[in-house]
A = this chain, B = another copy of it.
Amino acid sequence: MNYHELVHQIRTKKTNLCIGLDTDIKKIPQFLLKEKDPVFTFNKIIIEATHDLCVAYKPNIAFYESMGPKGWESLEKTMEVIPENLFTIADAKRGDIGNTSEMYARTFFEYYQFDAVTVAPYMGEDSVTPFLNYKDKWVIVLGLTSNKGSNDFQRLTFEGKSLYEHVFEKVSTWGNIHNLMFVVGATHADDFSQIRKKVPDHFLLVPGVGAQGGDAESIMEKGQNKNCGLLINVSRDILYAGNGHDFAETAREKTKLYANILSGKISV
């Protein structure tokens, strides 16, 4: 999916919600465990119940990987039931030397047909560029992450600038707004204005709303640009809103709550 199609979708649906598919077999409703592929069945039902209220899905790859080859089959089938017009993000946080990053790009862009993949910046340019060589595909580089540990290194200050600011400055020269986004955690609302000075036009993927405590309204006020420029991700708070036979309806109701918050603030 290209930049204009993504913005068009946000404009049409009046939402920039991304739903994180952190599907944990220990947390899905018990009665689904009798299904042949409970993780896929859960995802399929969640996607059917929510796809008109969001613009993107973000499977968290760790949750599939931890189930062995069968987990990857659940992921593959999940990708097949996500409607074509939704943006798909592999939340994989990969990154390695060039010839290995090429393999990761092949995995997520060619094999599983994702639109985007999250990548860690620590290993530098040759760990990121292999992901930039695909037309209408995206790399989403970790900038300032939502977790407590983001203070350990990301906020170390080098020459008056935090490490994460160096990441924004340097990484943004490797790609452009059509193939590169950044992760900025919703738990850092106060940093968004400063971050927008570094990357005014890029999309930012914002996890950490809901279970992790980030505030979607505040982020929308501080982080949008003229084409919205934000994808707000909610995972657990939607997926596990209910646990009974009506879990799909409960997830849809929770999705509507977020969709309403976002549509009330959206600038496009």
Q: Which residues of B contact A153 (CB under 8 A)?
A: 121-122, 124, 163, 166-167, 170
Give the distance to chain B from A147, nearest Cβ to Cβ, in Å: 4
Return chain B residues, CB-CB under 8 Å to A163. Answer: 153, 156, 158, 163
Copies of this chain in its oligomeric complex: 2
**A48 and B156 alpha carbons, distance in the complex (Å):** 47
Contacts A93-B94, A104-B65, A157-B158 hold; do A150 and B123 have CB atoms under 8 A apart? yes
Count of chain A residues with Cβ under 8 Å from any Cβ of B? Answer: 58
A147 touches B166 (CB 8 A): no
CB-CB under 8 A from A159, the residues of chain B are: 158
Q: What are the interface flags for A133-154 relative to B under an 8 Å C-beta threshold, 1 for contact and 0 otherwise?
A: 0000000001001111111111
Looking across the interface, which residue of chain B has its beta carbon closest to that of A98?
Answer: B147
Tell me whether A76 is interfacial, beta carbon within 8 Å: yes
- Contacting residues, chain B, for A85 (C-beta < 8 A): none
Q: How far is the CA of A124 from the CA of B185 in the complex (A)?
A: 14
Taken together as a complex, chains A and B put the C-alpha atoms of A152 and B174 apart, in Å, by 12
Whether a CB of chain B sits under 8 angstroms from the CB of A96 is yes
Q: How far is the CB of A39 from chain B (nearest CB, A)?
A: 13
30 pairs from A and B in contact (CB 8 Å cutoff): A22-B99, A60-B96, A60-B103, A62-B94, A62-B96, A62-B103, A63-B100, A66-B107, A68-B72, A68-B112, A91-B96, A93-B94, A93-B95, A93-B96, A95-B120, A97-B147, A97-B212, A98-B147, A120-B120, A121-B153, A122-B154, A124-B149, A124-B150, A124-B153, A125-B148, A127-B147, A127-B149, A128-B149, A152-B170, A153-B163
